[in-house]
Structure 1
Amino acid sequence: MLDWGMMTGASSPADQAAIAAFLSDPATHGGDVERIDTHGSMVFLTGDRVYKLKRAVSFPYMDYGTREKRAAACEAEVKLNRRTAPSLYLGLAPVLRGAADGFRLGPLVQRAEGEAEDWLVVMARVDREALFDRMAESGRLDADLMRRLADAVAAFHASAERFTDRGGQAAMRWVVEDNVAELAERPDLFGPDRLARLADLSRVALDRHAGLLDLRRDGGLVRYCHGDLHLRNICLVDGQPTLFDCIEFNDDIAIVDVLYDQAFLLMDLEHRGLRSLANALFNRMLERTGDIGGLVLLPLFLSTRAAVRAKVEASAGKDRSAREYFDHALTAIDPPGPKLVAVGGLSGSGKTTVARMLAPDIGPAPGAVVLRSDAVRKELWGVAETDRLPPEAYAPDMTHRVYAELADRARRIVSAGHGVVVDAVHARIGERAALEDLARRLGVPFRGIWLEAPPEVLIARVEARTGDASDAGESVVRRQLTYALGEISWPRVVHLDGDEDSKSKLRQIIS
């Protein structure tokens, strides 16, 4: 608890100027110090620590106008961020009155108690090159890291506190209408006609999905999330993706649908031209959550996130960036239609590699959902993806069940307006025909691809696998080579590692 009776000191920006000067002085820390200013804080980096002083400012969405509110916000920031980054958030430190009207730093504490001129959040300093936005700029992010990040986000969301009295369609409508009102203040920047289109499409989506938004809230999918989940607020700590700097100043921004929280990260990757990484993150999150029902909301969520960034950039005088985010918001709310793609071939033919390569180019952002028969089989059998299955798990009745589940999930995904790639052997004519029939019934384009490679390549690939969902080895490949596959109407492509011609041909097939 905060002891407000003993709170004294700075209560205005003018008062804080002296404190900021004190914190900017190398003599205060016994070494060099760097200052970074944001709209809500002054951040001081020195040695192995970071000190964050919250500005004495009041906005409709963020109020640090009194020292009591700043103290409460400091406590909340440490508490909330320790959910995901406990080693980074060390505690709080008071700024105390020193001799001759100067200041001094008080000891590290865990609660804002006692007399203080102001309060600081104290963090362990992280190498800037370990920040994900820096890693993105230097090309150091990859699909494996995105899958590990998805695991971290999914675990965080799974443990986050649930709310049924917040979120839902009313909360999303508030965000959309607030965006529209603030964007309308800059008709020179966004254009009245284009803004009207964004507003109309967003409202139509809200009306169409109002019931689903409330259903998700009532079902526990509105939780105390991060609220500001983009690459700049993610770093590597001991080699692990770590979320930090969550929203602590406004519960309406932080307590949201888990998919809306994730949408900020997907939008950020997409906006940086990193759709393949967004698709890898998206697919891994879907594997962890199974949230196919939420896919229909993604266009609205991605668009709203981009619109929020557009108004923030505009308020900061970054007109070019604001326009780019606004364009992104318009594109996301009016996405292309879904498409059903099937990738077949014997074990080792490269199905999963090709499916993941093609997925970013299929359907609405951030690309298609990849359904992999090997992973679905393990899921239905109730084991981890890398556990080996007994022979009976590959009996005909189980295989039939796997393909039925793949078709059902594909139906649900396409019906939600999203693209899908089904990655399975598809050795039987009926297995191939089933997906073609499904696409016809749903009224969406279908593309089938049959991958081939020489037997020695197939065997070498399956024998080289480690930590993979597939159990296939040399004996499985040799048995598959004896299959009577029947007529294969899908385009055949010989897929060899590093073959750019085959990649180009594959992309032409799905276009």
Structure 2
Amino acid sequence: MNKNSDLPAHVVEDQSAVFAFLADPATHGLENEIKRIDTHGAVVFLAGDDVYKLKRAVKFPFMDYSTLALRKTACEREIAVNKEAAPDIYLGIVAITRDGDELTLGGDSEPIEWAVHMRRFDETKTLDLVAEKEGLPQELLKSLVKEILAAHQRAPRRDTGPAIASLASYLEQNSEAYAENPGLYPQDRAAALTEASKMALAALTPLLQARGEAGFVRRCHGDLHLRNIVLIADKPTIFDAVEFDEAIATGDVLYDLAFLLMDLWERGLHREANIVMNRYLWGSDASEIDGLAALPLFLSIRATIRSKVIAAALPHLDGEEKTAKAAEARRYFAAAEAFLQPVRQRLVAIGGLSGSGKTTLAARIAPQFGRAPGAVHLRSDIERKRLAGVGETERLPDSAYASDFTARVFDTLWHKAERALKAGASVIVDAVHATPEERRQVEIVARENGADFVGLWLEAPIETLIDRVRHRSNDASDATAEIVRRQTGYKIGEIAWPHITVTGSVDDSVARALKTLGFSSDR
């Protein structure tokens, strides 16, 4: 319980003197005003080229900074867990000391507080702000996913049991947060969400245990959303990993990724969320697909945590800002409910000769159906490169396009489609689908896994197809004008799938496809 009734809820010590000291330009030998940023667990001071981040003296069920020793340890851990991913940002920790009545930054006296010392970056380049002002282009997302995959690969493996126990504890903590804020969370809906989440976790426990044994449980970032990613020299840099609790930072790699997916989705960046999910899957082992069964619960928990954290900061706010943040907390709570709602599965196959725009169309419609963040996009060009053991844009020899190798590619597509459907996801299979057997088999995969099936056949004049492949760059497809000409001689047979002429704009093609599929385009 708070010893000082004048302090906000969960705050156990008055740090106002230290805050005032760091907010004073004279402390840093500056004349310009120091910018202060407040969160529920920290206060950050931007001072010229330097940043000093103090841990608030707070005690939450999910965060304990109630003593100086705990705050120092948290500062040390913040450096340790962020240094490898963001070496240009994290410099070390520094003491705030008292000499008589004077406070000193980095003095030799007994420390009264500790701060993380960071090199300041352009705070307008965090990806939440970049997304608002400029959008997030595919090349940036591609680079970001590579950074995330690399971080997950080097992250140390952890035991499965504690990670599952942590998920259960989050549900209990969320329930407590709902009860503390009855004006923010309707109690009947809160109880229903808690119950649905517990039932989902119980059903998923065997899968999560198996994934842990296979190495998917690791010491990850723990707070991987857009505000914790910044562009430095145009490269996405991940920072501000969770340092205050190893349990919170430890979990399934898809649970770590889910925070970013949830953040993108709730900002209305559905296409971007779908790209991130699919690029993560393209860069992972096929067994990662099985984990998609847990993604709705992971997204829901991430949304409730975001809501809970916003609610925890409300006592530090007032006026319009407080009203806006309360509305944001309610929105994330509603999102948590929506993520757990069942969605009918669909398998959409997109076929057509090279240059017909299969991949472009698939990427545009993938966010429009299935569970958030949309359909799993399986692409023959990507699978061919993976089977050949080369990079996405590395050109393959003709032997990689022989009939036996192509058969392996389609076997892989069907196998992955089946795994995704079994995990509850919807799927797009993007390939030429030149033979009746290829088209028949993809329909069988849908039927045997209880999914609705629709096939689309894209077509355009050969001059259009050739022009498109000639203007491709930095793409997984190896198609050339000669390959397009060769494809026109294929014995494709009768195509029963709806035909879509794709000679107009991409938006026109997308609209026709969605109308044909009967999908809503409002997501």
Same fold (TM over 0.5): yes
**Aligned partner of residue 283 in structure 2, secondary structure:** helix
Q: Alpha carbons of 1:165 and 1:406: their partners in 2 closer, same or farther (altered >3 Å)?
A: closer
- 1:55 is matched with 56
Judged with a 3 Å threshold, the aligned counterparts in structure 2 of structure 1 residues 233 and 360 are, in CA distance, closer, same or farther, namely: same
Alignment partner of 1:163 is 2:164: no
Alignment of 1:5-404 (within 5 A): 13-14=13-14, 16-31=15-30, 32=32, 33-98=34-99, 101-106=101-106, 115-164=110-159, 167-290=162-285, 291-317=288-314, 318-404=325-411
Q: Residue by residue, what CA displacement relative to the aligned partner does 1:181-223 show, whole Å, maximum 9, x if unpaired?
A: 3213444433233223212321221121111111222222221
Distance 1:497 1:364, change over 3 A: same
C-alpha distance in 1, partners of 2:195/2:497?
41
8 Å CA contact retained: 1:166, 1:222: no
Report the Cα distance in structure 2 between the residues aligned to 1:63 and 1:73, rounded to whole angstroms: 10
Secondary structure of the equivalent of 1:118?
strand
Residue 13 of structure 1 aligns to a residue whose secondary structure is coil
Q: Match of 2:430? A: 423
Instruction: Tell me if structure 1 keeps the 8 A contact 2:75–2:116.
Output: yes
| Alignment-mate amino acid for residue 23 of structure 1 | L
Q: Once the 2 structures are TM-superposed, how far is the Cα of residue 242 of structure 1 from its aligned partner?
A: 0.9
Post-superposition Cα deviations, 1:396-435, rounded to whole Å, max 9, x if no partner, equal: 1111111111111111101111011111000111111111
Change in 2 beyond 3 A, CA 1:193/1:101: closer
1:26 corresponds to which letter in structure 2?
P
Q: Tell me how far 1:372 sits from its aligned partner.
A: 0.7
Find the aligned partners of 1:435 and 1:165 in 2 and give their Cα distance: 35
1:474-485 equivalent positions in 2, closer than 5 A: 474-485=481-492
Q: CA deviation at 1:499?
A: 4.5
Q: Contact 2:362/2:377 (CA < 8 Å) preserved in 1? A: yes
Alignment coverage as a number of residue pairs: 494
Q: Partner amino acid for 2:27?
A: T
- Give the CA deviation at 1:376: 0.6
1-structure distance, mates of 2:12, 2:193: 39
**Percent of pairs identical after alignment?**
49
Give, in whole Å, the separation in 1 of the partners of 2:140 and 2:294. 26
| Shift of residue 497, structure 1, vs aligned partner | 5.6
How much does 1:168 deviate? Answer: 4.0
1:94–1:118 CA contact under 8 A, matched in 2? yes
How far off is 1:166 after superposition?
5.0
TM-score, normalised by the number of residues in structure 1? 0.92
SS at match of 2:19: helix
TM superposition shift of 1:251: 1.3
Q: Distance in 1 between matches of 2:101 and 2:93?
A: 22
SS in 2 for 1:289: coil
Instruction: Return the alpha-carbon distance in structure 2 between the equivalents of residues 202 and 96 of structure 1.
Output: 46
Distance 1:216 1:28, change over 3 A: same
**Cα distance in 2 for residues equivalent to 1:499 and 1:161:** 43
Q: Distance in 1 between matches of 2:152 and 2:508?
A: 42
- Asked if 1 retains the 8 angstrom alpha-carbon contact of 2:178 and 2:187, the reply is no
Q: Distance in 2 between matches of 1:93 and 1:200?
A: 45
Aligned to 1:126, what secondary structure does the other structure show? Answer: coil
Q: Distance in 2 between matches of 1:327 and 1:195?
A: 10
Matches of 1:114 and 1:372, distance apart in 2: 62
Asked whether the equivalents of residues 282 and 382 of structure 2 are also in contact (C-alpha less than 8 Å), the reply is no
List alignment gaps of at least 5 residues for structure 1: 1-10, 108-112
Distance 1:104 1:193, change over 3 A: closer
What amino acid is aligned across from residue 343 of structure 1 in structure 2? I
**In structure 1, how many angstroms separate the alpha carbons of the residues matched to 2:56 and 2:194?**
33
1:469-492 C-alpha deviation (Å, 9 max, x unpaired): 111111111101112211111111
- Cα distance between partner residues in 2 of 1:181 and 1:117: 33
Contact 1:166/1:255 (<8 A) preserved:
no
Residues 457 and 497 in structure 2, CA contact (< 8 A), matched pair in contact too:
yes
Determine the C-alpha separation between the residues in 2 that align with 1:444 and 1:48. Answer: 56
Once the 2 structures are TM-superposed, how far is the Cα of residue 277 of structure 1 from its aligned partner? Answer: 0.5
Bigger CA drift: 143-152 or 312-321? 312-321
Instruction: Determine the C-alpha separation between the residues in 2 that align with 1:232 and 1:187.
Output: 28
Q: Which moved more, 1:247-256 or 1:138-147?
A: 138-147
